[in-house]
């Protein structure tokens, strides 16, 4: 951090703007919005921002394959857990959203969440009858269905933040529907599309931003080949998002369609943690132009040094010989070719701010660059909070999201419970603090449930004891004793499945 990466990207964005190219910018921290946002040409996607466009999944999906692509980005594979839960969650989401597009009812986020989370299993099974999801939501496998809903709830909860974007604002204006696909494919569009978040919102928006970036990439791949087209995907701090599906193959194919990717990260280890060693190495190999700024880690500096390559040096060595006879004294010269890193790891570790090593494609030398800091003035607010009131329907759905995220864990055997715990934690992959917070929250829920179950058992024992002795007491006395137990033993606070 603080090495000049943001300054470098700002210079690139000014050049992109001057060329008239379009760009999709992942703006974590709303840094670039304040310097570049032009409401006449640019768009913002962030449901917490008043300036956000009105987007929904149905704006960017027509065929079943489109919904499958959206589901793959929204519900990513994480860690080494059982892929069944992820694949099943994707299938239910895909089939439900696609079926909604086919019926005559309104396609809204509220209705999608209500169908998946609120509708009884029998209702959802009937709605999805004839699809791959039928067996997944069958009442015959209730625990499995609830567990799948638990995984799905962890990711689709971000969709609820889109509520109200299709409603009139305080001035009575309705935002027009926005499609990422249409924006990418429209050659008349020359502006920037910002996918923004700040520290407070980032965890909530992470699944959405990952899905939007994936949608933009897929849209570029659908374009005709054009060597003169340039559509930029700027993804600084890429490891802070979920794993984007098929990113390696996208990088390999996108160039001929006019796509240009910029991927930035502070730590290669974070990149590997999200994508795995093989995929991370494959993607880095596909990036031809590379900037290496200062890194205090010797391991990372060593990797950067290895990537910058080696150089051959021819050195001369003098050897002296002496003897008792004057004619024995002499000097000999020898030549030796050695190979050494073009840039030593220590040289990378000692770079100043706004300095970097540059390697470009082709027969060009490794170059050391120094950027001039240009403090661009802010031309727009980095963030404008959107004020909206959640509907009663969405508030009820919020409680159901909690139910399926936490309640399902208490109904499962230990092995399955741990598998779901791992999936929930992996929502925050790359953010150890959030992972720990999520695990603590869920373990507390399980502990509370088990404690309340013990209390219920004790309550039942007391009730049975009183009922067994009821014949020795008056009816009024028995009724009063049972009433006292019900009001003195703490009731279970958990949501029952």
Q: Which tens digits make up the pLDDT trace of 178-227?
A: 999 999 999 999 999 999 999 889 988 999 999 999 999 999 999 999 98
Q: What pLDDT does residue 85 have?
A: 87
Higher pLDDT, 285 or 481: 285
Q: How confident is the model at residue 319 (pLDDT cuts 50, 70, 90)?
A: confident
pLDDT for residue 334 is more than 70? yes
Most confident range (mean pLDDT) of 26-40, 75-89, 107-121 is 26-40
C-alpha distance across the termini of the chain, in Å = 47
Mean pLDDT of 307-317: 86
Higher pLDDT, 492 or 254: 254
**What DSSP assignment string belongs to 203-219?**
HHHHHHHHHHHHHHHHH
Higher pLDDT, 490 or 436: 436
Q: What pLDDT does residue 236 have?
A: 93
Mean pLDDT of 81-105: 91
Q: What pLDDT does residue 213 have?
A: 97
Q: What pLDDT does residue 87 have?
A: 94
**What are the backbone dihedrals phi and psi of residue 357, each rounded to the nearest 5 degrees, phi first?**
-100, 140
Q: Which residue has the tokens 């931003």?
A: 209
Residue whose C-alpha is closest to residue 220's, from 244, 253, 263: 253
pLDDT for residue 128 is more than 90? yes
Question: What is the C-alpha separation between 187 and 254, in angstroms, rounded?
Answer: 17
Measure CA 473 to chain center: 64
Q: What pLDDT does residue 324 have?
A: 66
Q: What pLDDT does residue 167 have?
A: 86
Q: What pLDDT does residue 232 have?
A: 98
Question: What is the C-alpha separation between 405 and 89, in angstroms, rounded?
Answer: 13
Mean pLDDT of 270-280: 92
Coil vs helix vs strand at 12 = helix
pLDDT for residue 72 is more than 60? yes
Exposed / middle / buried, residue 361 (Cβ in 10 Å: 0-12, 13-18, 19+): exposed
Instruction: Give the whole-number percent of the chain exceeding pLDDT 70.
Output: 78
Residue partners of 23: CB distance under 8 A and separation at least 6: 13, 16, 192, 193, 231, 232, 233, 234
The CATH classification number of 5-295+354-370 equals 3.40.50.300
């Amino acid at each position: 951090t603080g090495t000049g990466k943001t300054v470098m990207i700002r210079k690139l964005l000014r050049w992109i703007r001057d060329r008239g190219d379009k760009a999709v910018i992942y703006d974590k921290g709303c840094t670039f919005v304040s310097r570049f946002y032009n409401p006449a040409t640019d768009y913002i996607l962030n449901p917490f921002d008043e300036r956000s466009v009105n987007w929904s999944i149905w704006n960017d999906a027509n065929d079943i394959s489109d919904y499958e692509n959206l589901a793959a980005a929204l519900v990513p594979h994480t860690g080494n857990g059982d892929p069944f839960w992820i694949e099943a969650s994707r299938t239910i989401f895909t089939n439900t959203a696609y079926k909604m597009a086919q019926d005559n009812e309104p396609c809204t986020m509220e209705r999608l969440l209500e169908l998946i989370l609120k509708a009884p299993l029998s209702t959802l099974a009937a709605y999805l009858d004839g699809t791959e999801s039928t067996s997944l939501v069958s009442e015959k496998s209730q625990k499995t269905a609830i567990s799948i809903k638990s995984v799905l709830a962890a990711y689709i909860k971000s969709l609820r933040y889109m509520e109200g974007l299709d409603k009139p604002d305080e001035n009575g204006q309705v935002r027009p529907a926005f499609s990422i696909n249409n924006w990418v494919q429209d050659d008349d569009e020359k502006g920037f599309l910002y996918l923004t978040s700040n520290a407070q919102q980032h965890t909530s928006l992470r699944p959405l931003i990952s899905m939007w970036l994936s949608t933009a990439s897929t849209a570029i791949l659908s374009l005709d080949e054009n060597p003169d087209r340039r559509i930029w995907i700027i993804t600084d701090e890429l490891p802070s998002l979920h794993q984007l599906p098929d990113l390696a193959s996208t990088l390999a194919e996108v160039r001929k369609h006019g796509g240009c990717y910029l991927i930035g990260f502070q730590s290669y280890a974070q990149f590997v943690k999200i994508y795995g060693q093989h995929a991370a190495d494959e993607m880095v190999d596909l990036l031809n132009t590379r900037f290496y700024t200062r890194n205090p880690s010797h391991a990372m500096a060593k990797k950067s040094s290895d990537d910058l390559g080696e150089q051959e040096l021819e050195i001369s060595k003098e050897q002296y010989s002496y003897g008792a006879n004057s004619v024995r004294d002499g000097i000999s010269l020898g030549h030796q070719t050695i190979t050494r890193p073009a840039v030593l790891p220590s040289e990378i570790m000692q770079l100043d701010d706004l300095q970097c090593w540059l390697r470009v494609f082709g027969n060009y030398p490794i170059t050391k660059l120094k950027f001039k800091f240009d403090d661009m003035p802010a031309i727009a607010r980095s963030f404008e909070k959107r004020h909206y009131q959640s509907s009663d329907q969405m508030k009820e759905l919020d409680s159901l999201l909690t139910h399926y995220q936490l309640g399902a864990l208490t109904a499962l055997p230990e092995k399955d419970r741990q598998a779901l715990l791992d999936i929930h934690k992996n929502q925050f992959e790359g953010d150890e603090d959030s992972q720990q917070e999520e695990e603590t929250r869920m373990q507390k829920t399980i502990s509370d449930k088990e404690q309340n179950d013990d209390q219920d058992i004790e309550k039942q024992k007391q009730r049975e004891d009183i009922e067994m002795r009821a014949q020795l007491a008056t009816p009024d006395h028995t009724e009063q004793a049972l009433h006292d137990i019900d009001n003195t033993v703490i009731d279970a606070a958990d949501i029952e499945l």
